[in-house]
Amino acid sequence: MIPEFLRRYVRRYLGTYVLGILFLIATNLLTIAIPRMLKEVFDELAGQRRLEVVHHFAWWISGFAVAVIFVRTFSRILFFNPGRTIEFRVRNDMLARLLGMSPQFFRKWSIGDILARASDDATFVRALVGFSVIMVLNIVLAAVLSLWQMLRTDAWLTLWCILPLLAAMAALRVGVRYLFGRMKQVQEALGRLSDTVLETYKGIAVVQGAAAEPGFLRRFDADNEHFTALNQHTALVRTFLMPIVGVVGNLCIFLLLFIGGRHVVEKRMTLGDLAAYASYIGVLVGALASAGWAVGVLQRGFVSLRRVWDVLSLTPDLPLGTQPLPPSAGGVHLRVSHLSYRHSDAQPDAPPALDDLSFELHPGQVLGVYGAVGSGKSTLVSILGRLAPPPPGAVSLDGVDLLDVAADDLRRAVAIVPQDAFLFSRSVRENVAFFDRSEDVDNDRVALAVEKAQLAGEVARFTDGLETVVGERGLMLSGGQRQRVQLARAFYRGCRLLVLDDVLSAVDHDTEARLLDVLQGEIRERHTSAVVISHRLSALMRADEILVLEGGRIVQQGTHQQLLRQEGLYARVWDQQRERRDEVVQDQALLAV
């Protein structure tokens, strides 16, 4: 994992990192040089020698301090900027991997956990390749240079100071190993907490309607308390570990005064040596104190990198394809030949979702599909959109195997309007034209698409018209309005094959009739193809051909009139739905009287 990550993301910034290391070396050399000049100042003062020499060194110390500020800043820029760019690339690559996964994948991975990996974990990966790298290098350089100067000044005193420092490092090592295991638990708990919050927000209308707020609050509190407890326990361990370095630093100062003071009296050290030595201890202890933070970032960074890499190493289970569709201004020729499909997560003894389907749809034609729940309609929609890969050769568009069609061509050619309407928490205009950037939206096309979707009159009554914000998942709209906004998206975008997955289920019969008139007009005008899936047989009456699915198989096939004459499932359902429509009409007439 780590070698591949370095090769893919870090190697291109190797020159920047080398330059950053040079600036970091310069920073530490300047930092160590200041105590050496401080030694000369104290020695001059102790010997009551020339004051101008003291002034000379004071100016040099000031200059070096200013130089440290600039050099340290440049070193951080050279390390931090690649980290931010790597974070950007990692998140884009994660999105690309996720876009290549089928809906079955997202049934196994929770959205909250994916968001935690793409946000929190990606941020710690940035810290790993930016902040932690510069901190580790700075710690090593500062420790080596300060220890070298301490040994040069007084080797015996340095030996005494190293002993408590080694004990502190041993304690930190034990604590770090313990904390490393805790970090993964913290990240997993954050994913569960995010999933709980997202799930509750998405179902807020259901929660409020069922007065289930207390139950969801208890669930949130349980996940939140678990996450908080893990963080508190981690903080508790750090609270006891991190001060060890500070205590050891004070102990080193005590040893400096106790042993070094005696050496000054014995003329084995000068007063300047004592002052410089105290500065070296400050640099060393500061580096070791930073080691605690750096280790924490390294811990969380490596845990986050593993979680991010789980996404980056995913193998897309959706075919990408490279072959373009033949250019055409009209619809596509859809051919399905002996299509059978079984979901990968289905039980071994379960029947296939689709079993030996064969049919054709030519440009300018409408194919109707009817079937009860579980008959395979949704699976067929997923296959037509290549969200579920069909067997090779089973489905083709204009003679090109669906598996081989280039992704961009497929998305431009096929528009699927699903039954479950998903709207963004934006305006009606932005939801209809969400394919385009705000500045590229064609407002005239938006208005025309809304009119075709039989939504113009209702939108005109909204306070802000097309600029009305629809709320989370279209919460401010009715079910029928949400479906028609999705239909307006398809009209705005345009396509060669329009797949409507029971999108007329929440509209009244009059609106349904008008929408079907518009759909027929679109097909005649653009010579496009359409697949209309519906539980309402009235929505399928005008189709050129109708498929009746049962248990994943085609049990009836023909036009509306042909299926009525067959006296099978289609005819029985038609009689039942006609009786219900007649009852509704009678009830409305009585209410009018």
Please report the domains of the chain, with CATH numbers, ordered by start residue: 2-312 (1.20.1560.10), 334-422+496-510+517-592 (3.40.50.300)
Q: Is the dihedral of CA 532, 537, 542, 544 positive or negative?
A: positive
Position 410 scores a pLDDT of: 86
In whole angstroms, what is the distance from residue 585 CA to residue 580 CA? 9
Query: Cα–Cα–Cα angle for 146, 152, 155, nearest 5°?
Result: 95
* Nearest partner of 354 among 387, 378, 330, judged by Cα: 378
CA 201 to chain CA mean position, Å: 18
Are the C-beta atoms of 318 and 101 separated by less than 8 Å? yes
* Nearest partner of 322 among 401, 388, 382, 389, judged by Cα: 401
Within 10 angstroms of residue 180's Cβ, the number of other Cβ atoms is 16
Are the C-beta atoms of 385 and 335 separated by less than 8 Å? no
Amino acid at 198: L
Q: Which two tokens stand for residue 416?
A: 């699927």
In whole angstroms, what is the distance from residue 557 CA to residue 562 CA? 8
Position 575 scores a pLDDT of: 87
Position 484 scores a pLDDT of: 83
β-strands 529-533, 497-501 pairing? parallel
Residues in Cβ contact with 535 at an 8 Å cutoff, skipping those fewer than 6 apart: 370, 502, 505
Mean pLDDT, consecutive 10-residue stretches, the chain (593 aa), reads 86 89 88 80 68 73 86 88 91 88 78 81 87 82 85 84 79 70 74 75 66 76 84 77 71 80 81 82 78 73 88 82 81 89 79 89 89 86 86 90 88 83 81 80 86 84 82 73 84 85 74 81 81 86 89 89 87 83 50 44
Phi, psi of 285 (to 5 degrees): -65, -40
In whole angstroms, what is the distance from residue 27 CA to residue 35 CA? 14
Are the C-beta atoms of 505 and 419 separated by less than 8 Å? yes
List strands edge to edge, sheet with 553-558.
414-417, 497-501, 529-533, 366-371, 545-550, 553-558
Amino acid at 54: V
Position 573 scores a pLDDT of: 87
**Contacts made by residues 472-481, CB under 8 angstroms, sequence distance 24+:** 472/201, 472/202, 472/204, 472/425, 473/202, 473/422, 473/423, 473/425, 474/421, 474/422, 474/423, 474/431, 475/204, 475/205, 477/423, 478/506, 479/421, 479/506, 480/506, 480/507, 480/508, 480/511, 481/455
Position 537 scores a pLDDT of: 85
In whole angstroms, what is the distance from residue 498 CA to residue 205 CA? 31
